[in-house]
Amino acid sequence: MNPYPMKWRVLAGGFLSYMFDAVDIIILAIAMPAIMVSLEISQAQAGLLVTATLLGIGLSSVVMGRYADSHGRRKALLLSLAGFGGLTVAVAFASDWREILVLRFLAGLGLGGVWGIAAAYVNETWPPAQRGRATAFVLSSFSVGASVAAVVAAYLLPGHGWRMLFFVCGSAVSVAWLYVFFRVPESEAWLRQQRLAGNAGQPAPSVRIAELFAPGLARNTLLGTAASACALTAYWGATTWLPTFLVRERGLSVGSMAAFVAVLNAGMFVGYNVFGYLSDRIGKKRAIILSLVGTGVTLPVYVLASDRTTLLLLGPVFAFFMAFAGLIGAYFAELFPTRIRATGAGFCFNVGRGISAFSPLALGWIATMVGFATGIALCGLFFLLAALAVAFLPATGPHAESGPLPDSDPDPRGQAASAS
């Protein structure tokens, strides 16, 4: 297959998949004030709903990452989309918060799978010089999905309630599933690896998590996971409660809050793509550090502002720097060879998300004592700790001093064609 249409199909399929992944994650945070009132649950119980989702996402790196490396990127992506889409629809019919707790944990297994699969897919279909911007573009769809969730919520929540919001958003995932099923082929790099194993007279061996801790990879795995854990602890602690903070401490209506969240995510979309281009010029590692430091500094400034106009203007500025999640998709994928790429990248990111699972619960508890503004502002420190962890990781790609990791380029012969 001509690599030119292949890379664009992967780009579109990954964008749509991660966009709906974001929609189904973010609607819980946006609907949280309504769910708390409807089901008469406490802040701690509400925080547990997010924690359950993130725990499922953390486990997904072991489940879906291994599945993608053993059975193919395409099959794993389709399974992830069908899983979290169906389970999000099921939330609309839940009778109490405990049922939602179980459904969100199970949905997390699919929600977390999309990130690692998309990162591996792009790494294996785009030339090295363009991987940073391509991966950042695909993962910038998270901010698009968050904005879509906010706009849909602004329309559905006031008149139709949170159950209709979950039903509509979960059903819409079928759009991404159909596109991937009909338009996105399997990764040629993954297929080539299977053929090589077949030519050797034996099936490709199953991927083992222990391989991520082999000499030469253990340092990358541990530091990558630590960086993700710190960054995502700050991210989920802050973003889970930002809608509630805007309603309770800044006096916004539910409709105005959704509009503020949409504007904030517009700034994030711009940041993802600006930092994506920047990473291809100065290196992914440097761009990630700049993103994390910028977020760590601007987040406290944003939440400590009390004027609504200032909040509206500062929101996109703070969100602009939150591009790290898009950057580390390409970066983590280059830290691992093809055979364990989805597992390795997914492990670092999603185990980090699993570790961060308790941050919404912890911040909800802190907010009862010092308020949401102070609690969210403290998250800036964790962004700075994440930047420190990334500083000890190696540079990759053209900016690496020691050259790329062996097997990091899926098909050197196709670089010229795929760059077109």
At which residue do the structure tokens 């459904």 appear?
A: 103
Residue 205: per-residue pLDDT: 61
For the chain, the average pLDDT equals 83
3-state secondary structure of 251: coil
> Does 224 have pLDDT greater than 90?
yes
pLDDT-wise least confident of 18-27, 122-131, 211-220, 282-291: 122-131
> Does 202 have pLDDT greater than 60?
no
Going by C-alpha positions, the residue among 117, 132, 79, 111 that lies closest to residue 280 is 132
How many Å separate Cα 18 from the centre of its chain?
A: 8
Highest average pLDDT, of 169-173, 195-199, 393-397, comes from: 169-173
Contact 177, 309 (CB under 8 A): no
The predicted-structure confidence for 141-167, as pLDDT tens digits, reads as follows 888 898 889 889 888 988 899 999 999
Contact 54, 357 (CB under 8 A): yes
Residue 135: per-residue pLDDT: 82
3-state secondary structure of 215: coil
Going by C-alpha positions, the residue among 169, 167, 163 that lies closest to residue 149 is 169
Residue 404: per-residue pLDDT: 41
The predicted-structure confidence for 89-144, as pLDDT tens digits, reads as follows 999 999 889 999 999 999 988 888 887 788 888 888 888 788 778 888 888 888 88
> Does 222 have pLDDT greater than 80?
yes
CA 150/CA 213 separation, integer angstroms? 40
Domains of the chain: 3-183+212-403 (1.20.1250.20)
> Does 345 have pLDDT greater than 90?
no
At which residue do the structure tokens 């949905």 appear?
A: 107
Residue 239: per-residue pLDDT: 81
Residue 225: per-residue pLDDT: 93
Neighbours of 357 (CB within 10 A): 25
What separation in angstroms does the CA of 107 have from each of 25, 170, 181?
A: 9, 11, 20
Residue 262: per-residue pLDDT: 79
The predicted-structure confidence for 32-71, as pLDDT tens digits, reads as follows 889 999 999 887 788 788 888 888 887 876 778 778 888 8
Contact 397, 323 (CB under 8 A): no
What phi and psi, each to the nearest 5 degrees, are found at residue 250?
A: -115, 0
CA 14/CA 8 separation, integer angstroms? 10
> Does 331 have pLDDT greater than 80?
yes
Residue 411: per-residue pLDDT: 42
Contact 278, 266 (CB under 8 A): no
Q: Across residues 357-371, what is the average pLDDT?
A: 78
Largest distance between two CA atoms of the chain = 68
The predicted-structure confidence for 237-257, as pLDDT tens digits, reads as follows 888 788 878 888 887 877 777
Contact 56, 109 (CB under 8 A): yes
> Does 258 have pLDDT greater than 50?
yes
Residue 198: per-residue pLDDT: 65
- Give the angle subtended at the CA of 231 by the CAs of 225 and 233, to the nearest 5°: 95
Amino acid at 344: G
Going by C-alpha positions, the residue among 381, 44, 48, 42 that lies closest to residue 238 is 381
Q: What percent of the chain has pLDDT over 70?
A: 90
